[in-house]
Structure 1
Amino acid sequence: MEIKENGFIFSDDSNLIDVNAVHHYLSTQSYWAKGIPLALVQKSIFNSLCFGVYKDGKQAGFARWVTDRATFAYLCDVYIEEEFRGLGLSKKLMSLMMFHQDLQGLRTYTLGTLDAHGLYEQYGFKALAYPERRMEIIVKDIYQPKG
């Protein structure tokens, strides 16, 4: 799937992803994956349904879904590069993803966010309906050097 709009390309073709650019953003600018090794970013892209936003051949944004494409999808690693923010790209990316054929009819769509609740609420996301049914293991600062 590929959409061209206002000089931007939105695509689910993983071959277009600039893995080094995604790694740079995640490892240096994100609050959730600081210090993540390049090999892990490569592996995560290979094992996920990924979407990219491109401008003049440059990676302008990225998102990926961890999904079985049947019952469950977890949205993560969503970002738009600073220079392209404020142009509605995250909304366009969300629209593209939510209507993607591999994400239709699932039982559960989930994500985690620190500061983008308003964006995701526009696409039907809400606080957990049954938080008492959810559990997690969080390994803090897993990508940070020990010492």
Structure 2
Amino acid sequence: MTTLHISTNKADLDVPLIHQFISEQSTWAIGMPLPVLERAIDNSLCFGAYLDGRQIGFARVVTDCATFANLVDVFVLPEFRGRGYSKQLMETVLAHPDLQGLRRFTLATGDAHGLYEKFGFTPPSRPTTLMERYFPNIYAN
């Protein structure tokens, strides 16, 4: 069995693959322009998941590395799902030294609640205190 390798080295990221998945297959960022993704990667802590040197997964964390983090753009390519790779990716993300001792670690998901609950994520304890500006179709044009 091939071992999954997870790295935060941005030079190893297959940006065209990430862009193709996020802009064409994701449920959260259809149509995202490549320059927007590149800027997001440049300004985030990124995790690439690799099998035999081929990228098969990705996760990005927006953080100040002190008090807050937001997990975004998490995916494993469809043909590699169901093998525990998303769990390994999450374990690596949560073990990262820059993400320890945070007061708040957030994420939004439409369909992976079960995965994230295994890692201690819950609905907001005080949802009435949270607000957002949300533009779900910002890349549609």
TM superposition score normalised by structure 1: 0.93
Is 2:95 aligned against 1:84? no
Match of 2:131 in 1: 135
Where structure 2 has 5 or more consecutive residues not aligned to the other structure, the ranges are: none
Pairwise CA distance, 1:83: 1.1
Q: 2:54 aligns with which of 58, 77, 87?
A: 58
State the alpha-carbon separation in 2 of the partners of residues 140 and 7 from structure 1: 36
Percentage identity across aligned positions?
50
> Where do 5+ consecutive residues of structure 1 fail to align?
none
Picking from 93, 99, 103, the partner of 2:95 is: 99
Of residues 5, 25, 29 in structure 2, which corresponds to 1:29? 25
Deviations 1:55-91 (A, max 9, x none): 2222100000000000000000000001111110000
Partner of 2:133: helix, strand, or coil?
Answer: coil
Give 1:139 deviation, angstroms: 1.3
One-letter amino acid of the counterpart of residue 102, structure 1: D
Once residues 45 and 77 of structure 1 are traced to their aligned partners in structure 2, the CA distance between those partners, rounded to angstroms, is 10
Q: Whole-Å Cα distance in 2 between the matches of residues 57 and 51 of structure 1?
A: 14
1:13 to 2, 9, 24: 9
Q: CA deviation at 1:15?
A: 1.2
Deviation readout 1:88-138 (Å, 9 max, x if unpaired): 000001011111100000000000000100100010000010111100011
Moved over 3 A (4+): none
- Which residue matches 2:120? 124
How far residue 8 of structure 1 moved from its aligned partner, in angstroms, is: 2.3
Q: State the SS of the aligned residue for 1:120.
A: helix
Cα RMSD after superposing both structures: 1.1
